[in-house]
Structure 1
Amino acid sequence: MAATDTFDDPPIPELLKRAGLLRRQGRFGSATQLLWARLESNASLIELCRKGSERIAGSEAILAQCDQKLEVARRCLDKPTRRWSFSCRWSFSCRWSFTFWEVLHEVDGLLLLVMPQAMLVPRALEIQQQFERRVTDARAALWLGTDRKNGPLPHCVRRLARLDTDGCCASTSPPLGGEELGYCRHVLRGALDTVNQQVDKTFWQLSINVSLQVFSTLMLLGVFIGSAFLLSQNFVEDWPHTLVRKGLLLIGLAGASGSIASNMLSKERFVVATGATSRYFAYHLMVKPVIGAFAALMLLFLERSRLLLSVETRDASSSADTGSAILHIVVNDNQAAFFTMVALAVVAGWSADRLLGSVMDKVLTRLLGQSEKVLPPPGPPVPPSEPIPEAQ
């Protein structure tokens, strides 16, 4: 044989002919490969159910639906790359990811209706284990029973696995009939749907939290750039004489940064509902920073009016009248006074929704108390006038 002779390349397996397996070779391709493996595992289960010995009424129609849904899931994974903006690309990928898992969950539920009984037993045990671990609300008592043993789900699992009440093997139990087996299949499908809803809810909440943290990081970087530009204007030493315009804007940005930082560190358990998810982003990325900026400015106004708070330097604290301020802070120079107000503004923006209510009540109480002090003392009572006698 000549040295240049080579053997023919073996044919590419059907699994590797998928466009996604050949194209996903980037840095983040490992996660996509796992999803493709999950798809092909479901495809092999469909073929096993189609060629199984048990024949169930309507199984061909159910398996045809499974094939169509798997094709939709493949298109979700193998979508073409397009040039969009960051927000559009994020919304598109998020929508496709939820579509993928929704379709895949439907395939898993349909396979329970046509799966041979021998293959159904390990799947039933897995569904019960996932249900007991993931579902902890009021639905658990409905499916598992009050004692978590006599509900419809444990009963169907015991009948399929031929177990007694104590969980011991009872091989002498009769096999399930057609009607009872169909009942167990539908119970398992309902339980699996409940588990998938809980998993999707957790994944949706995690997705919203991570997205809010990413967008909050970008907003906080923008606030840092704007604050650095304002600090370069050399008005810190003249604080608080240069309060108007630049000072108000910088204190407002500090309050907004506190609200944005709270978005980055807190993990909200959002109520998952159909639609209206953009309102979460509008509230946390627009409403909360504005409320934080308002709370910071409110704190600054209170400091200037000496109603609740005063920040003074050591030279001016001896001659300045702090009024009725509850909290009196004395620092070394004007620069320290300025950065003290910035720190207080960040704290006010962090807890603006809880701070504003209590601060408003205290301010109103102070204003009413001071207004009672300046009212003039009451005069002597005026005697009632004598009635005029009627004319004769």
Structure 2
Amino acid sequence: MTDTASARPTPVRSLLKGRFGWFFVGRTVDLAGSSMTTVALALAVLQASGSAADLGIVLAANMIPTLVLLLVGGAVADRVRRRTVLIVTNLATAATMAVLAVILITNHYDLSVVAGLALVNGGVSAFSQPALRGIVPELVERHDLQRANALLASSQNTVRILGPMVASVLVATVGGGWALAADAATYLLAAAAFTRIPGASRPPAANKALWRDLVDGWSVFRSMRWVVIMTISFALVNAFNVGPWNVLGPQVVSGNDGAVGWGTVQTVRAVGLLVMSVVAVKIVLRRPLRDGRLWGTLAGVPLLAVGLSGDAWIVAAAAFVGGLGFTVAAITWESTLQAAVPEESLSRVAAYDDLLSYLAIPLSQLAVGPLAATYGAKKVSLVCGIAFMVVCVAPLLNRDVRNLRT
């Protein structure tokens, strides 16, 4: 199903000693902070307020500005040095986390203040995401992109397993405020690592109005038909997957095997993500979009397991397989985008890709509950799993997607 070949990529040890090495360190620490923040902030707000409504407001405040400002963030990352964007955004996140920590440690919790800080944090994220996606081609050779993204995926999946665990322990032992203080420290360390990247980005080229950059970015995005097709596919994949998996998955599995059963499923899935990201460091896929789409169909298997069974051990096994497929799909897409899109437009194209893909997520989360109430959670999961696999391979009907090589 895949073509593997030795394209003489740079050895991992040499890759990690170069400019990419400092980015890898900074990105790993950054991801550790992000994975801790998601859990620590949620638990800290619940610990301080005891209100699920407060938590919903804080999480919404964090997500909304990311969606609103994402395109602006992409334009900024294409106008100035992406290295600078990453340093500034990590310092800004460290500051907001530190203020949150002080508020909670001193028992001065106030919903409006915490939500306001979450709003700022979400806005900062809108600038860091496009810069992170755009900077990798500046740090490695074209033939090393897949290997570099596989290394980044390996660190990401590792900290996704460890980060929430560490955050939970900190909240339980020393309190949510101190857990957020630890988060703030990780962002400071990430910023320090990014300062060590020598000559990471091209000189600034901000000689046009920002709105003109946004229009030009849209023109580049729209002109690359295979990018548009893939983005539509990702939006549909999110629509059929995110809501059913995050809402119906725990409902069905917990109903059969309790909360521990669902926790086990998530852990096993994370192991699948990590295993394949490590394996992906060793292989080169010559038709990445074709191979990524074929592997990506495996990510629909967990929904089929929820719909057909719902038993924790069956869903966990399916989630492991799904994790393998999801990882290949993500790495091949990121590498292809970085290799094929002009560097000066990459962050803007990535921002349009992210925004249009993400918009389907809240719609999926809102729709899945009523659908499950009408047709049953298992039936909806099964249909969504089948639909997921169909929309995953549908882009292969396009010749550009099917035959694109890197």
TM category, shorter: under 0.3
Q: TM-score, normalised by structure 1?
A: 0.24
